[in-house]
C-alpha cells in the first residue's frame, strides 16, 4: 500500500497540467503541488514530503518542495 499513497496527488497534478497550455504547465503543476503540501497536517507533513522527495523520480519529478523551516 505504501507504493500507492502518492497516486492521488500525482493524478491531481497531471490533471492540472492537462488543463492548461504547455507554456503554463510547470507553473500550475508547482502551484497544485504546493497547495497539496500546504493541506498536510503537521503530524504527517515531514513523512509525506520525505516520501515525495524519495520517490519523485518514479513519478516523473512531479513533486516540488517547500523549504523546511
Residues in the chain, pLDDT under 50: 68-69
In the chain, the number of structural domains is 1
Residue range 43-53, pLDDT digits in tens: 999 999 999 99
- The boundaries of the domain holding residue 39 are 7-59
pLDDT of residue 2: 57
Q: Would 65 be classed as within a structural domain?
A: no
C-alpha cell at 66: 517547500
User: In what helix (H) or strand (E) does residue 50 lie, and over which residues does it extend?
Assistant: helix 42-55
In a 13 Å sphere around the CA of 39, the CA atoms on its Cβ side amount to: 7
- Answer yes or no: are the C-beta atoms of 52 and 63 closer than 8 Å: yes
pLDDT of residue 66: 63
Q: Would 26 be classed as within a structural domain?
A: yes
Neighbouring CB atoms inside 10 A of 32's CB total 19
Amino acid at each position: 500500500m505504501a507504493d500507492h499513497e502518492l497516486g492521488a496527488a500525482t493524478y491531481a497534478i497531471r490533471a492540472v497540467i492537462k488543463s492548461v497550455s504547455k507554456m503554463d504547465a510547470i507553473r500550475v503543476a508547482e502551484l497544485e503541488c504546493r497547495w497539496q503540501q500546504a493541506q498536510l497536517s503537521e503530524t504527517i507533513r515531514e513523512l509525506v514530503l520525505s516520501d515525495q522527495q524519495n520517490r519523485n523520480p518514479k513519478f516523473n519529478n512531479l513533486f516540488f518542495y517547500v523549504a523546511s523551516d
